[in-house]
């Protein structure tokens, strides 16, 4: 609960900033610490929530021994990881092996610079906010690729290879799906996008865009069913096979931090961000973030994992053309109604959404089957 109190203090930046006019570095330091505390705190709650929620879905109880309702379980796990010995394989590239978790974690934290937690409560309201999110967010994959390479382990390398393939493919539908939102809002700034949703959340105007963004984002951050790079049934632990102790904890933090990023971005650009009646803005924001995250957990408990060629096919045969269609439709609509979309457009867009998905799922077959290989013996 301390974290929540801290972040709610952070949500009055106007007051904070006016106390220290012009003191950029103090402003920067306070907000950096607050963002770090927010991410760490929410990730710890996320891990607990995911384990409890998933346990309920799987007809079991979940962690319930450490603290009330097992709330301290994540803390205990984190403590254990910090105290564990850090083992580096002899044949690993030591410098890169050390660097990889940092490369993975830092972009995740950096993304929160532009997320508005309440009205104007962002460390920096960049006018290219969403572009920044997409650009910085994909840097995290560099950490995974570095880890896969530096570990000098074949499982890690395969995991890293899969991540490269996924990141190259899914970056495109992800960005294209966001473009629809950007066209409607008329700005790349996240605050402006939230302002554009003052009456109706954009998910109603962009149902297709929401779905595409959500799928592409899940693939990009390797949430199930796209968690191929750490697929435990094939690659044991994938890219972090050779990581232990605090370095593993950093990867773990980065992974859940990415889930938090996606939840926060989805909440901001599709669900109206901090806007909502009665309750305070930060509570609305957190509520939406947790709702999106729980949806991701739900998908994880339900779906088996897709295959690597199916993953590629999904990106290029489904998401990419659908994102183009979405972009075209949105652009035409904005051209017809330049002063804001009227609400009946919602029904039109939902109709398009319901029409194109079944058509496209019939057009293509996902992936391809057996490959002819030369006989080795």
Distance CA 26, CA 21 (A): 10
Task: Please pick, from the candidates 83, 198, 199, 372, the single residue that binds another protein as defined by CB under 8 A.
Answer: 372
User: Using CA atoms in the order 30, 276, 133, 23, what is the torsion angle rounded to 10 degrees?
Assistant: -20
152 CB-side CA count, 13 A = 10
CB 228 within 8 A of CB 304: no
Neighbour count for residue 154 (Cβ, 10 Å): 11
Distance CA 261, CA 223 (A): 12
Does position 105 interact with another protein (CB under 8 A)? The reply is no
Does position 362 interact with another protein (CB under 8 A)? The reply is no
User: Using CA atoms in the order 260, 264, 266, 267, what is the torsion angle rounded to 10 degrees?
Assistant: 130
Tell me which stretch binds another protein (CB under 8 A): 13-21, 41-49, 219-227, 348-356: 219-227
Neighbour count for residue 5 (Cβ, 10 Å): 10
Among candidate residues 321, 306, 304, 324, the one with its CA nearest the CA of residue 359: 321
Task: Please pick, from the candidates 27, 84, 307, 317, the single residue that binds another protein as defined by CB under 8 A.
Answer: 307
3-state helix, strand, coil in the chain (%, to 5): 70, 0, 30
What track of x and - describes contact with another protein for positions 275 through 304 (by CB under 8 A)? -------------------------xxxxx
State which residue, 284 or 293, has the beta carbon closest to another protein: 293
Does position 57 interact with another protein (CB under 8 A)? The reply is yes
Tell me which stretch binds another protein (CB under 8 A): 190-198, 262-270, 278-286, 306-314: 306-314
Task: Please pick, from the candidates 231, 315, 319, 345, the single residue that binds another protein as defined by CB under 8 A.
Answer: 231
Task: Please pick, from the candidates 4, 96, 134, 161, the single residue that binds another protein as defined by CB under 8 A.
Answer: 161
Distance CA 268, CA 47 (A): 22
Task: Please pick, from the candidates 46, 155, 251, 284, the single residue that binds another protein as defined by CB under 8 A.
Answer: 155
Tell me which stretch binds another protein (CB under 8 A): 176-184, 233-241, 253-261, 262-270: 233-241
Task: Please pick, from the candidates 236, 246, 276, 346, the single residue that binds another protein as defined by CB under 8 A.
Answer: 236
Q: Which residues bind to another protein, rule: CB under 8 A?
A: 54, 57-60, 154-155, 158, 161-162, 224-225, 227-228, 231-234, 236, 300-310, 366-367, 369-374, 376-377
């Amino acid at each position: 609960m301390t974290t929540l109190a801290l972040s709610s203090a952070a949500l009055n930046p106007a007051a904070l900033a006016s106390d220290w006019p012009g003191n950029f570095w103090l402003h920067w330091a306070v907000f950096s610490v607050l963002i770090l505390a927010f991410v760490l705190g929410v990730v710890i709650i996320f891990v607990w929530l995911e384990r409890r929620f998933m346990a309920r879905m799987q007809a079991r109880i979940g962690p319930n021994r450490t603290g009330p309702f097992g709330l301290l379980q994540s803390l205990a796990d984190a403590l254990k990881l910090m105290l564990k010995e850090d083992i580096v394989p002899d044949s690993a590239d030591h410098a890169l092996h050390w660097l990889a978790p940092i490369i993975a974690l830092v972009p995740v934290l950096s993304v929160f610079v532009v997320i508005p937690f309440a009205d104007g409560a962002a460390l920096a309201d960049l006018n290219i906010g969403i572009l920044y999110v997409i650009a910085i967010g994909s840097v995290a994959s560099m950490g995974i690729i570095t880890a896969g390479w530096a570990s000098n382990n074949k499982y890690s390398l395969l995991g890293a290879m899969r991540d490269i393939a996924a990141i190259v493919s899914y970056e495109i539908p992800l960005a294209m799906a966001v473009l629809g939102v950007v066209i409607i809002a008329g700005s790349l700034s996240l605050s402006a996008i939230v302002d554009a949703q003052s009456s109706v959340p954009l998910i109603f105007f962009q149902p297709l865009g929401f779905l595409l963004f959500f799928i592409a984002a899940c693939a990009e951050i390797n949430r199930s069913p796209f968690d191929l790079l750490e697929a435990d049934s094939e690659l044991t632990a994938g890219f972090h096979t050779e990581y232990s102790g605090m370095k593993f904890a950093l990867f773990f933090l980065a992974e859940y931090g990415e889930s938090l990023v996606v939840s926060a971005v989805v909440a901001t650009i599709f669900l109206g961000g901090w806007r909502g009646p009665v309750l305070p803005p930060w509570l609305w924001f957190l509520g939406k973030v947790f709702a999106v995250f729980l949806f991701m957990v739900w998908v994880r408990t339900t779906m088996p994992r897709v295959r690597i060629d199916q993953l590629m096919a999904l990106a290029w045969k489904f998401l990419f053309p659908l994102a183009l269609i979405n972009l075209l439709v949105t652009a035409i609509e904005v051209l017809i109604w330049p002063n804001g979309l009227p609400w009946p457009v919602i029904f039109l867009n939902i109709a398009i959404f319901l029409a194109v998905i079944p058509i496209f799922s019939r057009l293509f077959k996902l992936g391809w089957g057996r490959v002819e290989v030369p006989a080795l013996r």
